[in-house]
Amino acid sequence: MDGGKGIITRNSVMGYRRDLYQPPFEALISFFFPSKSLLTDSNSHSALSESMDIASSSLCQAHKISLTRCQPSSPVNSCSLTFTGFSLPQISAPCLAKCRRKGTSSGFVRACVAVEQKTRNAIIRIGTRGSPLALAQAYETRAKLQAIHPELTEDGAIHIEIIKTTGDKILSQPLADIGGKGLFTKEIDEALINGHIDIAVHSMKDVPTYLPEKTVLPCNLVREDVRDAFICLTAASLADLPAGSVVGTASLRRKSQILHKYPSLAVEENFRGNVQTRLSKLQGGKVHATLLALAGLKRLSMTENVASVLSLDEMLPAVAQGAIGIACRTDDDKMASYLASLNHEETRLAVACERAFLETLDGSCRTPIAGYAAKDEEGNCFFRGLVASPDGTRVLETSRKGPYVFEDMVKMGKDAGQELLSRAGPGFFGN
């Protein structure tokens, strides 16, 4: 976003590292400055200063966006922006009117008008959560679409809409205590159904086994590494941690498998937040170690934080871990055609097998469940499934092998789920 006399510093935005968070940063900044020209004219600094004052009392209140402004430290006009509790809906007419009533013709109002027009003219509006990882996944989706469809490379052809979900808003409780399904997808699904966005990009492990009416999820991108990563400043693996060490994780799946194999360790359940937040908590000494999905760390180019990667035998992944899913409306043939061009069928079939397993177990955030399907050397599907008691005292596992064909794989997943339900018996999950 640097250009001429106007500079916005990336490394100031929400404490993100400049080199790693350029795509999310630019997504947020574009809300206010859709073109560099707004920053490079001779009046850029005074216009920006006036705009921020107006924004703090009007648009920021309306859309729950807060900004922090600093004075330039050199003759070069410089500012930093910090966004919290943000969302990127279309700019409301009353909000714009309020800015205009204050008698400004600043870059901020021009930016608002430009964004409103740009959103309306977009060929595809992508809905996503606002975390750095979610934004990285949205940018990956955009890049893949543009690589295949030249018309989408035009400026403004794809708009990214950030939507805050229930799971993003409630951070003080463990996910299991919040209850319910779709904690990270419900509001995005609603925006899709209501026509505010055209496609929704999800981490597949967040997607409930049912889909809302009027939506379909026909596309999975190529799956990333499904394994979990061990993050620690003092030990190379879980086995190396001294007795009594505390491992932070909000996942009951991880908790149960950790305690089953390493009962001398303790688990801090309410260890939530995005990747950066959790790493900050670890560095601050709130826990001794944590586990994170390796896929997310790779997408964020943060694998330098990994002490070791856990094998599938040591930690079976969550259902659909490492997979990105993209949904559209059932009656939107145009979007369905775009998504068909992105779909990776091998990933889609593996995810379908795992989700059939999860659906049979009626899994939720209160249920420690793991499952993984993949193509073996012979081209067949090999599936492994696991359920555990929340305290890790009992872990039940099963596996299946069969043709790498949709119907067969869904059947394998369901059959594996039925087996573990029968073996677990009533009261196994403590619900």
User: Which residues are catalytic, by number?
Assistant: 206
Beta strands in 124-183 (DSSP E): 124-128, 158-162
**Cα separation of 7 and 44, whole Å?**
10
Nearest C-alpha neighbor of 6 from the set 25, 26, 33: 33
The 3-state DSSP class for residue 160 equals strand
Angle between helices 275-283 and 132-148 (to 10 degrees): 140
Task: Report yes or no: 99 and 110 within 8 Å, Cβ to Cβ.
Answer: no
* Contact assessment for residue 406 and residue 376, using Cβ atoms and an 8 Å cutoff: no
User: What is the rounded CA–CA span in Å between residue 176 and residue 148?
Assistant: 40
Contact present, 319 and 420 (Cβ < 8 Å): no
Nearest to 344 by CA among 221, 204, 200: 221
Neighbours of 39 (CB within 10 A): 25
* Residue 112 falls in which region: left (phi positive, over 0), alpha (psi -120 to 50) or beta: alpha
8 Å CB contact between 412 and 399: no
- Helix H, strand E, coil C: the string for 52-73 is HHHHHHCHHHHHCCCCCCCCCC
Q: How many CA within 13 A on the CB side of residue 28?
A: 29
Kindly give the residue spans of alpha helices, DSSP state H, lying in 262-390: 275-283, 294-299, 333-342, 345-361
Report d(CA 47, CA 334) in Å as an integer: 41
Contacts of 379 by beta carbon, 8 Å cutoff, 6+ apart: 404
Task: Check: CB of residue 339 under 8 Å from CB of residue 215.
Answer: no
Count CB neighbours of 390 within 10 A.
20
Residue 284 is classified by DSSP as T
